[in-house]
């Protein structure tokens, strides 16, 4: 099989818990690129927070904000902000129930509080740099969001819209955090749109992920890999399983497909 596209989640897939990546990961990306594979960073993160990593890995294509924004080299091919009314309702719920919210635009991360301990922990864990207090004037350009300080029994509060569900962040220290995912806008839908735009068949595509926000992506590609450190609930959605992020999971998965020796 000649593979054409490789989609890589970042946290828990490329990046280890200490925010570093294995040399084997960088080498694997370089090797498949030599073979004509276009590599995408496919993340829940905002793209302004992954530019440095992308430069280090020599990657020019992206799926960000859990599928709301997509770039193929220099061309923007997906741009799907959340509805302003949805964000306003989320802000109302967060205030009423003492939750915290971070909303991501194309330029900044906007938090309902910059001093709450859960927010500070979130910023530290994900090494976020472009942070400001959330104000009403930015709610029309929100591409993604994460709810924090949230108990599992409160998740349903945010799922009143049929298109919305919350996905728990797959990081041990952030079990209080949930990404906002849309059925109509997610990593899987983004992957499908990219395949259509580039006229590439499903069986020519590969993806690696570790969290439940990756399930649609792993189903959308021909060869979906769940990392060894993945959320157990992800396994039914993956075709393959590889080793953990600290054990060269990406490189070992690509070896299974014969792309690496």
Structural tokens at position 217 = 């992506």
Name residue 166's beta-bridge partners.
Answer: 180
Coil, strand or helix at 23: helix
Candidates 9, 11, 210, 214; catalytic one: 9
Backbone dihedral angles phi then psi of residue 74, each to the nearest 5 degrees = -100, 5
CA nearest to 108, candidates 135, 78, 75, 89 = 135
DSSP 257: T
Residue 137: active-site member: no
Structural tokens at position 118 = 């859960």
DSSP 260: -
Enumerate the active-site residues. 9
């Amino acid at each position: 099989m000649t593979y054409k596209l490789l989609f890589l989640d970042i946290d828990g897939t490329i990046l280890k818990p200490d925010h570093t990546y294995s040399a084997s990961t960088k080498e694997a990306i370089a090797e498949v690129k030599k073979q004509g594979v276009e590599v995408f960073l496919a993340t829940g993160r905002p793209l302004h927070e992954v530019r440095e990593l992308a430069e280090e890995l020599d990657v020019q294509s992206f799926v960000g904000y859990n599928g709301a924004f997509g770039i193929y080299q220099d061309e923007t091919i997906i741009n799907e902000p959340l509805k302003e009314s949805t964000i306003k309702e989320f802000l109302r719920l967060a205030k009423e129930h003492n939750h915290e919210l971070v909303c991501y635009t194309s330029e900044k991360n906007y938090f309902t509080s910059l001093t709450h301990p859960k927010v500070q922990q979130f910023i530290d864990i994900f090494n976020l740099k472009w942070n400001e207090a959330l104000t009403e004037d930015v709610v029309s350009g929100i591409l993604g969001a994460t709810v924090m300080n949230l108990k599992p029994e409160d998740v349903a509060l945010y799922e009143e819209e049929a298109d919305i569900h919350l996905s728990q962040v797959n990081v041990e220290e952030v079990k209080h955090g949930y990404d906002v995912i849309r059925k109509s806008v997610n990593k899987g839908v983004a992957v499908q749109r990219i395949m259509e735009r580039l006229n590439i068949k499903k069986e020519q595509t590969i993806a690696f992920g570790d969290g439940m926000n990756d399930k649609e992506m792993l189903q959308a590609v021909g060869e979906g890999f769940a990392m060894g450190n993945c959320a157990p609930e992800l396994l039914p959605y993956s075709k393959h399983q590889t080793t953990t992020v600290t054990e060269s999971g990406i490189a070992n998965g690509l070896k299974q497909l014969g792309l690496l020796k």
